[in-house]
Amino acid sequence: MKRIGIIGGGAAGLFAACLLKKFSGGEMLNVILLEKNEIPGKKLILTGHGRCNITNLKPASELKKGYHEADNFIYPALKEFGPEDTISFIENDIGLKTKEEDNNRIFPVCDSAARVRDSLVSYIADSTKTICNSKVLDIRKESSFEVSTANEKYNFDYVILSCGGSSFPQTGSTGDSYRLAGKTGHTVITPRAALAPVKADDESLTFIRNLSGVSVISKVSLFCNGKKTAATEGEILFADFGLTGPAVMEISREIPRDISDCNPYFELDLVPSSTDEQFDQEFQKLIGEHPDTKITTLLARYVPASVAGEIAAKAGVSDLYAQGFTKDNRRKTVNEIKHLKVGIIREPSIDKAYVTRGGVSLKEVDRKTMQSRLVPGLYILGEALDIDGISGGYNLQACMSEAFLAVKDILGN
């Protein structure tokens, strides 16, 4: 009987246990899942603001673009077990109906990540021995694997390493994957924050704090050493510490690790649908048509009133009416609304990041099986790997697709 050890009962570990059951085809397996927390899936419960954005219903060729540098690595996994397979598994095996929301995001109809976690745990109750409060301290490979916790030693023919990354450490993901993979000879690319909120400098906070809680659609460009290094577009949210929201979180991974000598800042284009020239012309026309209207009122046609007020204040035009508005006033206003500068005070904190960029080097893992190229029988899944996806269900889908390849290889299917 194959002895399979799953180290870490987060999304990837639970999915692997589920798929081992689903595809075992009646083969008797001895599956043990070791989880260091008192319950499995602590991070899973938090996903999708407690609703669990389980996957994203795009074709694999589109979906892979959401995994940055790992796009080609993950493509075979997405092709073999894609979003439709995940939905089918969640609906038909786990028994939770799903629904599609904007941008192809899939959620359970019950809107409960806790129910997803509970249903996965129930599904494997008769196929997997789940041992909680069991922190794995060491993995050694002789003829088989010896896996040690503080009190026990386990022997396995196959080990699935799924201890997560370093982000949201209160959920149990404290970088153990990297230490354990390192002990087996793997190279670990330095873990960093991805999908993280960003702290603004004191100067920027003077206006950002007044907008706390307001969200807008914006183009977000990252500048380092005065050069644009990345850009994205989407919803941003002003917060009392700086900026968050999907677009800011998406670009956060591009902020350099050591920011001391690159002076990074964001430039926000709060009217991304038009160029500077188009906006300037349109605004000029608006000013001409409404001479008795306050400039802040006209700006509020493009952005929320509170944002319009701050833009006008920064441009020094708060008290002006359209009829007294000079060309120079207009130039400054257009500049503030199209190139609003937000200084970045530090590298985003990994503690607040939704996922980890970095992890076990993909050069040392077979992308068709997720098996280590260095240690036969060792499979590495989820955030342990140097893969991070954008938000929208990409990271859970990666766990699911990778788990499928590992399970298929272990079962010899």
Ligand X SMILES: Cc1cc2nc3c(=O)[nH]c(=O)nc-3n(C[C@H](O)[C@H](O)[C@H](O)COP(=O)(O)OP(=O)(O)OC[C@H]3O[C@@H](n4cnc5c(N)ncnc54)[C@H](O)[C@@H]3O)c2cc1C
| Site for ligand X, rule CB under 6 A | 7-13, 34-37, 40, 42-44, 46-48, 52-53, 135-136, 162-164, 168, 171-173, 176, 354-355, 382-384, 393-396, 399
Question: With respect to ligand X, which residue has the nearer C-beta, 8 or 264?
Answer: 8
Question: With respect to ligand X, which residue has the nearer C-beta, 119 or 395?
Answer: 395
The least distance separating ligand X from the CB of residue 379, rounded to whole angstroms, comes to 12
Give the nearest residue (CB) to ligand X.
10
Question: With respect to ligand X, which residue has the nearer C-beta, 178 or 207?
Answer: 178
The least distance separating ligand X from the CB of residue 33, rounded to whole angstroms, comes to 9
In the 3-class helix/strand/coil scheme, how is the chain assigned residue by residue? CEEEEEECCCHHHHHHHHHHHHHCCCCCEEEEEECCCCCCCHHHHHHHHHCCCCEECCCHHHHHHHHHHHHHHHHHHHHHCCHHHHHHHHHHHCCCCEEECHHHEEEECCCCHHHHHHHHHHHCCCCEEEECCCCCCEEEECCCEEEECCCCEEEECEEEECCCCCCCHHHCCCCHHHHHHHHCCCCEEEEEEECCCEEECHHHHHHHHHHCCCEEEEEEEEEECCEEEEEEEEEEEEECCEEECHHHHHHHHHCCCCCCCCCCEEEEECCCCCCHHHHHHHHHHHHHHCCCCEHHHHHCCCCCHHHHHHHHHHHCCCCCEHHHCCHHHHHHHHHHHHCEEEEECCCCCCCCCCEEEEEECHHHECCCCCEECCCCCEEECHHHECCCCCCCCHHHHHHHHHHHHHHHHHHCC
CA angle 191, 134, 122 (to 5 degrees): 95
Question: With respect to ligand X, which residue has the nearer C-beta, 86 or 221?
Answer: 86
Question: With respect to ligand X, which residue has the nearer C-beta, 39 or 320?
Answer: 39
The least distance separating ligand X from the CB of residue 395, rounded to whole angstroms, comes to 3
Question: With respect to ligand X, which residue has the nearer C-beta, 44 or 322?
Answer: 44
121-136 as b/e, with b when 16 or more CB fall inside 10 Å?
Answer: bebbeeebebeeebbb
200-205's contacts with Cβ under 8 Å and 24+ in sequence apart are: 200/241, 200/242, 200/243, 200/342, 200/343, 200/344, 200/345, 201/342, 201/343, 201/344, 201/345, 202/345, 203/343, 204/242, 204/341, 204/342, 204/343, 205/240, 205/241, 205/242
The least distance separating ligand X from the CB of residue 256, rounded to whole angstroms, comes to 22
The least distance separating ligand X from the CB of residue 394, rounded to whole angstroms, comes to 6
Question: With respect to ligand X, which residue has the nearer C-beta, 7 or 405?
Answer: 7
The least distance separating ligand X from the CB of residue 402, rounded to whole angstroms, comes to 9
The least distance separating ligand X from the CB of residue 250, rounded to whole angstroms, comes to 13
Question: With respect to ligand X, which residue has the nearer C-beta, 246 or 264?
Answer: 246
Question: With respect to ligand X, which residue has the nearer C-beta, 96 or 205?
Answer: 96
The least distance separating ligand X from the CB of residue 251, rounded to whole angstroms, comes to 17
The least distance separating ligand X from the CB of residue 72, rounded to whole angstroms, comes to 20
The least distance separating ligand X from the CB of residue 302, rounded to whole angstroms, comes to 31
Question: With respect to ligand X, which residue has the nearer C-beta, 171 or 329?
Answer: 171
